[in-house]
Structure 1
Amino acid sequence: MSIPAIQWYPGHIAKAEKALKEQLNRVDVVLEVRDARIPLATHHPQIDNWVGTKNKVLVINRLDTISPAMQKLWQESFLVQGQFAYFTNAKTGVGVAQVAKAAQKAGVEINQRRSDRGMLPRPVRAVVIGFPNVGKSALINRLLKRRVVESAARPGVTRQLRWIRISDRLELLDAPGVIPSKLDNQENALKLAICDDIGDAAYDNQRVSANFIDLIQELPPIVTESFISDLLESRYKLHPGEMSGEDYLHAVAELGFKGDVERTARQMLTDFRKGVLGAISLEVPPS
């Protein structure tokens, strides 16, 4: 029996994507926000087509979820590709001021062109684009220095497009998370599920948790400051050894959760998402 693919494309996202495309001609700068744990999987394949020749600011959010060594590797990797990445923790505000400056700087030339045509300057218009639950609303609240958009640690909170004036120099368009209508890359879909960057109706907790254990045990040591097997043993009182992710999930369920595999799976995913297991990247930069 084939395992059903992870797919998620609720109606509000389809509607938001259509509205977003209609608004993009009014935008000067695009802030693309990605999840630091999975910066490749949270890159929308259509975004470069949408942005075209507009200025783009790359924001890698959830800085607190990866190690300093991984941040350095990703920063270098993006520079090799000709992109400068701004690493932020929107919850605490780390790196957000630099993002605001980058957005304003990108818009300076727009007002210079307006001035050359005898027109008055106007605020730079920026849009925040990214997958659901990567921290777009939290970033906007930090840029505004007050809570004006709802922000929560679950996908699908923002459902409407709205313009927000940050200052006399910057306006932001807050857009719902966008996601490809079909997730052809199921490895990426799995990572989205692990990181809670996709609706939980799209996946089975037990399958995703077992795959999560398999995935992190195959990662190189640099993704965290400790061996993954040691982190798992410290948290669940059981060393994974040569066990598959599925076997480990069931063994932990028997040991600490009275055989409740579903509860164990949910707990493992929650532990990762809340950083209880430590700073773990699920991707490494391409060599």
Structure 2
Amino acid sequence: MAITQNYKLNLIQWYPGHIAKAEKNLKEQLKRVDVVLEVRDARIPLATHHPQISEWVGSKARVLVINRVDMITPQVRSLWIDWFKRQGEVPYFTNAQHGKGIAEIMQAAQAAGVALNQRRRDRGMLPRPVRAVVIGFPNVGKSALINRLLGKRVVESAARPGVTRQLRWVRISEHLELLDAPGVIPARMEDQEAALKLAICDDIGEASYDNQLVAAALVDLLNYLEAVAPDLLPKKPLQSRYELDSISDTGDVYLHALAEHRYKGDVERAARQLLTDFRKGLLGTLPLELPPN
């Protein structure tokens, strides 16, 4: 579904210098890493897949972490598990804020290191801790995941994207060392539909975008999902929250109606509130992507 058709191309602009620098540092550090933990957002697991990750990971072990599992329903989660399995991947679902699924991530990362240390022993070398790196878009929950793995807060974890700037190693146990990397976003986002979803979910870092266009796109996307998969979404999430139904309106028309209905005609305020409510889960457990057929 082309939610971007009504919006100008390259709607979302980014690529601050620190991300370019972070990417360069990350490529250097990856040479020393044994296993990559790729963290994605359960609401948009496809849009939060970095297009260069396969190239960066190469032959290293990779653990696929789908965070924010609390923001989708168990039914949607099951559909994604089945879909990823068909792609030959095992997704690990977590809620890093509350520590759900963390033990399984630890086991998966350490299991990847068993083979590594067996090879070291075969060559007459001593075993060493597995070196893992956590990679993902800004604000998908990487720092919260590391804090949970450590069992104590060592990495600054904040609600705003792009807090982690430096690369540093943290020792998790005698078996595991972790590299916390800043959120990396592609140099250019060819797929503006994915870029819109990143903006809606606040997984985009220090990008510049128009709140009103992004909020309107959210309404269009919800209307579309309600039409194609009503059983997988809460019933009429916008009407339940704002007492204003969206189904007959385009996103832009709805946003203006919502501004009149609730915010004295202030469209920017309506847009910001709509995005905030979605991000906080106040519209319900809403996926913005479903597994491709």
* TM bucket normalised to smaller: over 0.9
Distance 2:206 2:244 in 1: 27
Distance 2:42 2:247 in 1: 28
SS at match of 2:62: strand
Aligned residues: 284
SS at match of 1:165: strand
Q: Is 1:159 aligned with 2:168?
A: no
Distance 1:108 1:177 in 2: 28
Distance 1:268 1:207 in 2: 12
Structure-2 residue corresponding to 1:107: 113
Task: Judge conservation of contact 1:134–1:197 (CA < 8 Å) in 2.
Answer: yes
| TM value normalised by structure 2 | 0.95
Deviation of the 1:223 alpha carbon: 3.4
Distance 2:188 2:278 in 1: 26
Show CA shifts across 1:194-221 (max 9, x none): 0001136421001100110001110122
Correspondence 1:18-37 to 2 at 5 A: 18-37=24-43
Structure-1 residue corresponding to 2:95: 89
Q: Is 1:64 aligned with 2:73?
A: no
Q: Is 1:177 aligned with 2:178?
A: no
Question: Unaligned stretches of 5+ in structure 1?
Answer: none
- Partner amino acid, structure 2, of 1:273: R
Distance 1:140 1:26 in 2: 19
Select between 6-15 and 184-193 the one with higher mean Cα deviation: 6-15
Structure-2 residue corresponding to 1:213: 219
Question: Unaligned stretches of 5+ in structure 2?
Answer: 1-6
Structure-2 residue corresponding to 1:126: 132
Deviation of the 1:128 alpha carbon: 0.4
Structure-1 residue corresponding to 2:232: 223
Percent identity of equivalent pairs: 68
Give the direction of change, closer, same or farther, for the CA distance of 1:246–1:200 in structure 2 (3 Å limit).
farther
Deviation of the 1:2 alpha carbon: 4.5
- Partner amino acid, structure 1, of 2:53: I
Distance 1:201 1:285 in 2: 27
Structure-2 residue corresponding to 1:242: 248
Show CA shifts across 1:252-282 (max 9, x none): 1101111111011000000000000000000
Runs of 4+ in structure 1 deviating by more than 6 angstroms, as ranges, are: none
Deviation of the 1:7 alpha carbon: 2.2
Task: Judge conservation of contact 2:10–2:192 (CA < 8 Å) in 1.
Answer: no
Give the direction of change, closer, same or farther, for the CA distance of 1:241–1:39 in structure 2 (3 Å limit).
closer
Structure-2 residue corresponding to 1:195: 201
| TM value normalised by structure 1 | 0.97
Provide the alpha-carbon RMSD of the alignment: 1.2
Give the direction of change, closer, same or farther, for the CA distance of 1:65–1:2 in structure 2 (3 Å limit).
closer
Correspondence 1:9-24 to 2 at 5 A: 9-24=15-30
Q: Is 1:135 aligned with 2:141?
A: yes
Distance 2:245 2:31 in 1: 54
